A and B are shown apart, each in its own frame.
Chain A
Amino acid sequence: MEKIEDEKLELLSHLIRRAGFGATRRELEDYGKYSYEDVVETLVTPKETNWMGDYLVRRFDGEASGMINAPGSARRWIYRMMSSDTPLKEKMTLFWHGIFATGVPKVINGRVLSDQIEMFRDHGLGRFDDLLLRLAKDPAMIVWLDNQENHKNSINENWGRELLELFSMGVGNYSEDDIKECAKAFTGWTIGNTEYMMVRSKRDSDWPYGRIAYHFEYLPNDHDDQTKEFLGHLGNFNGEDIIKVICNRETTAKFIARHLYHFFVADEVPVPSWNEVAPRDEEAIDELVKAYFDTDHNIAGMLSYLFNSDFFKSKNARYKKVKGPAEFAVGLLKLSREFEIPDRDMIPRYRQIGWMGQELNNPPSVEGWHEGQEWVNTGSLIERINFASELLGNQKNAGIKELIDTVEEAITENSTPEQIVDECLTQLGFLKLSSNSKTAVADFANGVEENRAKISGVIRLIGSTREFQMA
């Protein structure tokens, strides 16, 4: 087999850390058989695969199938992320969940939350217009922002306001009148059996036979069909028309571009400050805005541009993003293969991700989580290191055993501690450590006699380094 240049594998490692959840050397070498551009193309245009994981998790974790509550829904999602072979599709569910943050306690029905995540999975790489329209019809979002209470004769502005402020253009790009007109256009957009579903929701009722999923319903009699003026456009607008207007705005393109940059390239300041603080790389944002319009608002098109850009591929961009808790944990679960067949021990793993600061399906508010450096504080860092240590240190995990076997085969009795550390980093996916971190890990290796114990300890210690927290 032709040897693949380390530089290419390091670049692919960077790509898969950002567009997925990381990859081992073996996985990277599989990607490396193709050009970088082809790998990007495969990531942004994922094919349907014959994936058994959903059946497995539904069988072996009943609540991940019936989803009475949010944790079951989240476990199903986590299992999918860790076992899927379409990593970017899964990464996009996290991306959109961070922006269109929806969850308990307002939406208590785990199945309904799961349906929203499925929608992100199916449409998160498509046209933004289509995604936004589906979001407007998404039952979890309707309940989360009270649009079932948005009536022709009594509007509720919640959805209209957040659609403009948090989901598309950002503060400062519309007026209070625009919010009202927007809300009017979405009157009559509700869920079926509203009264019964809301009574059950209020009572947190799963009687008599478990939760019933919600579906979208349009009530023409409850829709305001008067003329509306929205962002300078005049017409008898319905929700679809509003979304068209929004998606043609440059402010929307900028908003999405900055979110993509923030999530995939480098940490920006928290979203509420975006109105006051300029992007860290305005040129990159401009290029992404152009890609938005060049590809007819296609998210996959924007990502294809982003992953192929110099600002993404630059060595200066690597290890510059703090991994989010779910991203961090899923990467480790995938690497360790702790749950080749899911079981009840996924419950504590799900809880640990919450303790790290990201309880999926339960964002702190409609604004989602403040990401970047804010993911890490003293408490969450300890949780992250403990989590990594538990998974990386357990040789019963198939992925860890395989990793240790491979390193053991590659080293000799004359290998220095530094060489052992290097081999572990290579097998973990061409990871890089600062010289300080590397020296500390090598010092540990120097003090352990037995080879497997040494390798296992080195892998565990790598999991506790600063660099391992970064993507």
Chain B
Amino acid sequence: MTPLQKPHLDYHLTLGIVAMEGRGFEYPSDSFVAENDKIYVTNKSRDYGERGVRVTILDMDSEYFGTFGHYGVSEGQLISPAGITGDGNGNLYVTDDYANMISQFDLEGNFIQRWGTGGSNLGELNGPSGIAVGIDSYIYVSDTKNHRIQIFTLSGDIVSAIGSQGEEEGNFHLPWGVDVGSDGKVSVADWGNNRIQRFDSNGEHVETISAVGTSKSQLNHPSSIVVDSRGNRYIADWGNETVKVLNSSSELIQEMKGQAALSKWASAFLETNKEEGLSRENANLDNLSALEDTEDPHTVSAHIEKLFWSPVSVKLQKENLLLITESNRHRIQVYEIK
């Protein structure tokens, strides 16, 4: 019997900086690496304000290519961009969880079309968040507040839906991230039920992942999952502020808490703003001993900057790199998969 492949992830680099507009991110909600190797990052902004909402385009070398999808209700504009994916044929799809719409753009950010109506009937949306395109060329949308996954054609026609509200197998409670693997299996971060659920291409439930590792520690409100072609699962365990790597048998291989260093954009900022840069050099930003009173991971991550804080999305680039988007730290930590 062939032993299971055991990928090991090493920290690679960090992308991004907080910025209310232009180059940078503000409360990023998702990222997607397109076939042109550019990274598209959706930003919800501080108070969903007029300046910060946008999709930022950059690459792995931190080269900045501009923004699109700014705040507004007109075609090509977004109010609360929650998720992004692409079809590999030059198209991007962005969910808007306030407007209850999905907007389609080309890789330059030009608007193509949009669809979606608020409601709970089949095909209607209530707070769409995670989004993925399957090998069947259908779009899978986490229809969060309707507690289901809806499946659309690339032009927005409804195909079917999976699940309904509840705690039983096949039910969801406020699902978030969704992924469709190369085998057609659909993986859903069933956020409110503290688990991952997986379905076959017919929508039949095949697996639930809720507790992992030898200590069987419970997933805590997972936000996102991506599965590679070998069946390894990468899970953003949002409530625990960690990322967990599981093999195809759902055995825990690695758990990461984050180790961000300065991105190119962050370094440039601190070099320009010398007073801040110099005082930062004298600071100890890893002082965990000051936090002996708390085990709450959200609190710990608020104090220790390098740790994941609100990891909302895990995405792969060609199965070599894992991109972890952290909403509260306005950055993406990138890990190399070996």
Which residues of chain A have a CB within 8 Å of any CB of chain B? 52, 55, 58-59, 62-63, 65-69, 71-72, 111, 115, 192-193, 195-197, 199-200, 203, 205-213, 215-217, 341, 343-344, 347
Contacts and interface: CB of A to CB of B under 8 A. Distances in A.
A203 B47 CA distance: 20
A462 to B, nearest CB: 31
Contacts of B328: 62, 65-66, 210
Q: Which of B18, B98, B238 has the most CB of A within 10 A?
A: B18
B290 A66 contact: no
B39 to A, nearest CB: 17
A212 B329 CA distance: 9
A209 B290 contact: no
A187 to B, nearest CB: 19
A317 B29 CA distance: 50
Given A59-B221, A211-B302, 9 more contacts: A55-B239, A193-B283, A195-B279, A199-B275, A207-B266, A208-B262, A216-B290, A343-B127, A344-B48
Contact of A192 (B80, B270, B287, B305): B287
B285 to A, nearest CB: 7
A213 B299 contact: yes
Contacts, number: 122
Contacts of B269: 207-208
A210 B290 contact: no
B265 A208 contact: yes
Interface of B: 17-18, 27, 29, 44, 46-48, 79-80, 98, 127, 145, 174, 176, 191-192, 221, 223, 238-239, 260, 262-263, 265-266, 269-270, 273, 275-276, 279-280, 282-285, 287, 290-291, 298-299, 302-303, 305, 309-310, 327-331
A343 B265 CA distance: 31
B332 to A, nearest CB: 11
B272 to A, nearest CB: 10
B279 A58 contact: no
A350 to B, nearest CB: 10
A67 B29 CA distance: 16
A210 B18 contact: yes
B112 to A, nearest CB: 26
A217 to B, nearest CB: 7
B305 A212 contact: yes
Contacts of A195: 279, 282-283
Nearest 7 pairs of A and B residues by beta carbon: A208-B266, A66-B328, A196-B283, A193-B283, A215-B290, A62-B27, A213-B302
A207 B18 contact: yes
A217 B270 contact: no
5 contacts: A62-B327, A66-B329, A197-B283, A208-B262, A347-B47
Given A62-B44, A192-B284, A209 B279 contact: no
Contacts of B262: 208
Given A58-B298, A195-B282, A199-B275, A206 B18 contact: yes
A63 B282 contact: no
A192 B327 CA distance: 25
Contacts of B265: 208
A63 B27 contact: yes
Contact of A207 (B17, B98, B238, B239): B17
Nearest to A111: B302
Contact of B329 (A59, A111, A209): A209
B276 A205 contact: yes
Given A196-B283, A208-B266, A215-B287, A63 B303 contact: no
Contacts of A207: 17-18, 266, 269-270, 273, 276
A67 B27 CA distance: 11
Contacts of A55: 221, 239
A208 B284 contact: no
Contacts of A343: 98, 127
A72 B305 CA distance: 19
A216 B329 CA distance: 22
Contacts of B284: 192-193
Contacts of A69: 46
Given A62-B327, A66-B327, A193-B284, A209 B266 contact: yes
B260 A52 contact: no
